[in-house]
Amino acid sequence: MGLVILSFFKPVLGAWLFIAVAALLELWVALVNTSKIKVKNINNKYTLKEIELIEHYRLFFQYPIISRQLSSMFSAIQLAVFPLVLWLLIKGLFLQAIIIGANYFIASQLAVILNPQFFLHDNIDKGKIKKPEDVAKFTEDMRAIDSAIEKMYFTKQ
């Protein structure tokens, strides 16, 4: 938020700092997320679907609190794009506006990857998904994520 405010007073400096901070966060998440994990399924604790989702949403399961916070931060970056891009276009800073505008799409994907449970529940509970085959797939994913979290954090070993 501070970088957005700075951009209104010092557009060039604020825009480049916003780009740098967003890029560093996105790069860090991308690098950390590229390393693969193998789930140790002792006593067949997890189903195949749960293992698949744990390996796919690795950061969400490995660092749940940090992951949720970063997801909120990427959602904030995504919302900040609208006024910031408009302001930068008014100021004639087209390159910075294009780069920050592209962050809208990058940040949205990272927000979902970092907190799939929230986005699946939100989209399914509010009926935002229209195709029946998508509803079935996402509902299955949502139930598997909920079940894996329950088994991982709330059941005794």
DSSP letter assigned to residue 55 = H
How many Å apart are CA 51 and CA 111, to the nearest integer? 21
8 Å CB contact between 128 and 122 = yes
pLDDT of residue 23: 94
* pLDDT exceeds cutoff 90 at 125: no
Average pLDDT for residues 26-40, to the nearest whole number?
A: 82
In 3-state terms the chain splits into helix, strand, coil percentages (rounded to 5) of 85, 0, 15
Q: Is the pLDDT of residue 157 over 60?
A: no
Exposure string over 26-65, b if 16+ CB within 10 A, otherwise e: beebeeebeeeeebeeeeeebeeebbebbeebbbbbeebe
For the stretch 62-113, pLDDT in tens is 888 899 999 999 999 999 999 999 999 999 999 999 999 999 999 989 998 8
pLDDT of residue 130 exceeding 70, the answer is yes
The percentage of residues in the chain with a pLDDT greater than 90, rounded to a whole number, is 42
**Which residue type occupies 134?**
D
Mean pLDDT along residues 133-153: 87
